[in-house]
Structures are given as C-alpha cells and as structure tokens.
Amino acid sequence: MITDLRRRITIETPEGVSFTIYLAGPFTRFLAWLVDCLVLQAAAWFVLSIIGPSTMLFGNVSTALMILFYFASSFAYRIGMEWRFRGQTLGKRLLRLRVVDSSGLRLQLNQIVIRNLVRVVDAMPVFYFVGGLSMLINKRHQRLGDLAANCVVTCLPENGAPDFDQVLPGKYNSFRDYPHIEGRLRQQVSPQEADLLVQALLRRDGLDASKRVQLYRELADHFREKAAFPDGATAGITDEQYLRNVVDSVFRGRR
C-alpha cells in the first residue's frame, strides 16, 4: 500500500512494515540540475580541447563528431549515470538525491530513458518552465518526465547509523537514583518532545555557543517542569548535562 503525503510517500510492505520515501523539492533538484549542466559543459570543453586540434587533420569529420557529442551527451550522460549509479547523476549524488520508482521498486532502464526523453517537454519553453510548474502542482514534486516514467526523486539520509555518543550522557546519570521520578518523567515526555531534545543534542556542534547555552537552558527549564528531581540529583550539573540525563532516562528506560 502506498500513501501520498506532501513531500513524502509511505509504502507498506507485504510484511506489514511501513517505510517512508522523502521527496526532493524543486529547489534542490534545480541545484542538482545546475551541477550536471556544469559537468556537461566541462566535458564538452574537454572533448573540444581534444578534438579541436584534430580538425586540422580530419576536417569536417572532427566537426561532425563534435556535433554528435554535444547532442548525444545531453541525453547519454543522464541516462548512463542514472542507470550505472541507480538513479544518480553527479549533481544528484552531490545533493544526496536519487531517482527511484514511485512504488519503491527497482528503477528500470526504460524508466530512466523515458524520464530523460520527456525532459524536452519539461524544458519548454525555457528554463524548465513546464517541468517546474508540474513539480509545484504535483504532490510528489514530479515533472512530466517523472510522471511518464513512474519515478520520484528522493532525498537520501546521511550515510551510516547516527552517532549516539553525541546524545547519551557519557558519565554517571544521577537521575537513576530516583527511578520513581524517572518513571514520571517518561510518562510526561511526549515523543515529539523527546525528538526535539535528541535533535538539539545531535546538532550541538552546529549551534552558536551563546545560542546553544540559551536553547539548552530553555529546554532544561521545560523538562524540569515535567518532573522535579531533588537537589541531590541536579546539584552542580549544567543544563546540557541535565538534558543528556533526560535523554538517557527516557530512552534507556523504555522497555
């Protein structure tokens, strides 16, 4: 079963497990397209620098080759790259995008060819006006080529499992001495609040120092209201350590 939501598709497998495909937006796709254009220009420049001097020797045969290269490369590059790298050109690779079958199945060569041929209509009349309009209207951000080929362009997550050392306390969690208050804390904290907390800690290094202190203080105050630990458990610990203890208590304690 496939459920369409804005910017994501949820697919339920026959095993009863659901997973979500996160769709790429028009702007990210535009950036990937721009990178691919630069790559094609660089390749054209490279071929020109090789074939160019040979026009002295081979005359119009070299010119013919250049004409055919310019024409073929615009289609062959995207089709070849998306086939070889499972839905990724260099631009998409850089932007962590991938073309996938809209049902979550493996992308077929036919689909890749069609989405790249219908590109000529998407590019009409200038600068992908038709394709851009289609992406804005369509819930799955599909241009016409994607629609004809049954494809969507997805955002890929970061490689590898997340680094949990960033989140968990790393030192003794004084809250564990009060299991009944920990229990109340787990009861009070909603999944959304826990999500927010984990994200705040995972993004620690990306936050400006003063803003981070302020954010952690506000978060710590928020979670202090959920369950009040005695002074013995909180004395001398920073707001950040308080939050790490909360994460440890919430996650470790769920059984």
**Measured distance between the N- and C-terminal CA atoms of the chain, rounded to whole angstroms:** 30
Query: Sign of dihedral through CA atoms 100, 101, 104, 109?
Result: negative
Q: Which residue, 61 or 230, is less far from another protein as judged by CB? A: 61
Backbone dihedral angles phi then psi of residue 53, each to the nearest 5 degrees: -60, -25
Interface with another protein, residue 50, by CB under 8 A? no
Q: Which residue, 22 or 45, is less far from another protein as judged by CB? A: 22
**87: alpha, beta or left, given left = phi > 0 and alpha = psi -120 to 50?**
left
Q: Which residue, 164 or 230, is less far from another protein as judged by CB? A: 164
Site for another protein in 214-243 (CB under 8 A): none
Nearest to 110 by CA among 152, 153, 151, 149: 149
Q: Which residue, 39 or 113, is less far from another protein as judged by CB? A: 113
CA distance 11 to 100: 13
Q: Which residue, 164 or 214, is less far from another protein as judged by CB? A: 164
Q: Which residue, 213 or 226, is less far from another protein as judged by CB? A: 226
Nearest to 231 by CA among 192, 179, 186, 174: 174
Q: How far is the CB of 196 from another protein (least distance, A)?
A: 9
Q: Which residue, 233 or 250, is less far from another protein as judged by CB? A: 250
Residues in the chain, total = 255
The single-letter code of the amino acid at 224 is: R
Stretch that binds another protein, among 110-118, 174-182, 216-224, 227-235 (CB under 8 A): 110-118
Sketch the per residue contact string, 163 through 182, with another protein: x for CB under 8 A, - otherwise. Answer: -x---x--------------
Backbone dihedral angles phi then psi of residue 95, each to the nearest 5 degrees: -90, 5
Interface with another protein, residue 73, by CB under 8 A? no
Q: How far is the CB of 16 from another protein (least distance, A)?
A: 8
CA dihedral 240, 242, 248, 251 (to 10 degrees): -90
Q: Quick one: which of 31, 43, 90, 113 contacts another protein (CB under 8 A)?
A: 113
Interface with another protein, residue 3, by CB under 8 A? no
124 in helix, strand or coil?
coil
Long-range contacts of 120-128 (CB under 8 A, 24+ apart): 121/145, 128/30, 128/33
Site for another protein in 6-25 (CB under 8 A): 11, 13-22
Report the alpha-carbon angle 157-14-144, nearest 5: 55
User: Which residues are at the interface with another protein (CB under 8 A)?
Assistant: 11, 13-22, 59-61, 63-65, 67-68, 70-71, 75, 83-84, 86, 100-111, 113-114, 117-121, 144-145, 147-150, 156-158, 160-162, 164, 168, 191-192, 194-195, 198-199, 202, 250-252, 254-255
